[in-house]
């Protein structure tokens, strides 16, 4: 494994240095290189074989091409920043959104670069690129040669072959006659023979897709702008809705959490936050899938049988900007990101399941998602 000069702190006090913004013209040129195969950055060997850790997907700033991938070795507490560019000698691209592991490969979804970088999961060396994706977001692998890619702007879910890196079809989720951006798609959760996807931007639906014939069969009304979803141990889906914003054409409302009965395709519980100005964020479950963690200004935890929102957070945000949330599927430890001022490098807090701090990681700009290996 390569060495890094990044220092890991064991407190939750946040300090940041100001980064000067790149000129927009240079930023656009860099972002256009996001899916190019050539570059002039220094290259160092990466070896993650046998390591257990978490990839931190740093979005970077829109149009600045400064997204990056960090890796945290859980056992050694070592952080390797810019791990993709270190291995490949090229920038990652514009707005890294999620990362997925499948059969020894890593799939790094680049939202604004409109592609997915495919890398060897141990060396981080790029082995291929899936291109011609309007605005990709999340992935779901159904077979070795079939994966679904959700999309913010396509009004369709793209079907890709993860082995050949080709686009092989689409599942239509909306038409040009629909208002706003309906139906964009985000998370993809498979339960039995059905796939559930939330429609976030200017929308209020969760769509149901038949995994056999790959077509939309039903839709479920939820709150305004369903931001994220998770599945619990009872195969119910929990959705957090951000409520939109005051001047939005679709309207606005206080954020909320809902539980969907996936057998009846109906909402069985709705819990509203107090104020429209509350900032809802991501949610996750513990390994037993009987506890829901979620961000709404602060970090909260609730049991799946609770019928009311928790009175107190397990971690108050103070002056932090909580953005991404992940739970280690083996230990149940929580990983919570702090985007700070959205221009400087961010931080990730490693926490015990009760919210007690364990470690603080210095990572890239706007850490937005996690991927555990």
Domains of the chain: 1-11+18-116+326-373 (2.130.10.10)
- For residue 199, the tally of other CB atoms under 10 A from its CB is 24
- The more confident residue out of 47 and 9 is 47
- Burial of 119 (C-beta count, 10 Å sphere; 0-12/13-18/19+): buried
β-strands 105-110, 96-102: how paired?
Answer: antiparallel
24: pLDDT strictly greater than 60: no
Q: How far apart are CA 118 and CA 127, in angstroms?
A: 6
For 31, list phi and psi in degrees, rounded to 5.
-65, -35
DSSP, collapsed to helix, strand or coil, labels residue 309 as coil
| Strand arrangement, sheet containing 215-221 | 188-191, 194-199, 205-210, 215-221
pLDDT at 40: 65
pLDDT (mean) for 78-95: 97
pLDDT (mean) for 120-125: 98
Q: How far apart are CA 341 and CA 345, in angstroms?
A: 9
Query: What length does the chain have?
Result: 373
Say if residues 107 and 118 touch (Cβ distance below 8 Å): yes
Confidence at 133, pLDDT banded by 50, 70, 90: very high
Confidence at 271, pLDDT banded by 50, 70, 90: very high
Confidence at 336, pLDDT banded by 50, 70, 90: very high
Q: How far apart are CA 18 and CA 175, in angstroms?
A: 44
Q: For residue 99, give the nearest of 141, 144, 146, 57 by alpha carbon.
A: 57
Q: What percent of the chain has a predicted confidence (pLDDT) above 90? A: 83
Q: How far apart are CA 363 and CA 6, in angstroms?
A: 9
Residue with the two structure tokens 């996936």: 262
Q: How far apart are CA 215 and CA 221, in angstroms?
A: 18
305: pLDDT strictly greater than 80: yes
238: pLDDT strictly greater than 70: yes
334: pLDDT strictly greater than 70: yes
Q: What percent of the chain has a predicted confidence (pLDDT) above 70? A: 87
The mean of the pLDDT values for the chain is 89
User: What are the tokens at 13?
Assistant: 């006090």
């Amino acid at each position: 494994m390569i060495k890094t000069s990044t220092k890991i702190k064991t407190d939750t006090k946040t300090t940041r240095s100001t980064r000067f913004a790149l000129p927009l013209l240079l930023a656009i040129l860099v972002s256009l290189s996001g899916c190019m195969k050539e570059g002039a950055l220094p290259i160092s060997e990466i070896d993650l074989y046998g390591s257990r850790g978490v990839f931190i997907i740093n979005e970077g700033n829109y149009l600045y091409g400064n997204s990056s991938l960090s890796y945290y070795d859980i056992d050694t507490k070592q952080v390797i920043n810019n791990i993709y560019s270190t291995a490949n000698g090229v920038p990652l691209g514009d707005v890294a959104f999620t990362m997925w592991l499948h059969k020894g490969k890593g799939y790094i979804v680049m939202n604004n670069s409109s592609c997915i970088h495919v890398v060897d999961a141990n060396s981080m060396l790029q082995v291929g690129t899936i291109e011609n994706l309007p605005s990709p977001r999340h992935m779901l692998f159904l077979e070795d040669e079939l994966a679904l890619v959700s999309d913010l702007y396509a009004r369709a879910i793209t079907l890709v072959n993860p082995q050949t890196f080709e686009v092989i079809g689409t599942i239509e989720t909306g038409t040009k006659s629909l208002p706003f951006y309906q139906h964009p798609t985000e998370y993809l959760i498979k339960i039995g023979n059905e796939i559930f996807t939330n429609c976030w931007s200017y929308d209020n639906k969760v769509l149901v897709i038949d995994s056999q014939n790959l077509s939309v069969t039903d839709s479920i009304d939820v709150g305004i702008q369903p931001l994220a979803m998770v599945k619990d141990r009872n195969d119910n889906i929990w959705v957090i809705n951000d409520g939109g914003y005051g001047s939005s054409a679709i309207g606005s409302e206080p954020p909320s959490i809902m539980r969907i009965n996936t057998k009846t395709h109906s909402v069985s519980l709705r819990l509203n936050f107090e104020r429209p100005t509350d900032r809802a964020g991501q949610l996750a479950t513990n390994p037993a899938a009987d506890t829901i963690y979620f961000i709404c200004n602060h970090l909260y935890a609730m049991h799946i049988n609770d019928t009311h929102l928790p009175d107190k957070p397990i971690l108050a945000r103070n002056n932090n900007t909580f953005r991404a949330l992940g739970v280690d599927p083996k230990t149940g430890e929580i990983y919570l990101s702090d985007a700070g001022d959205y221009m400087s490098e961010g931080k990730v807090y490693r926490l015990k399941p009760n919210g007690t701090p364990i470690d603080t990681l210095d990572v890239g700009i706007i850490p937005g998602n996690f991927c555990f290996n």
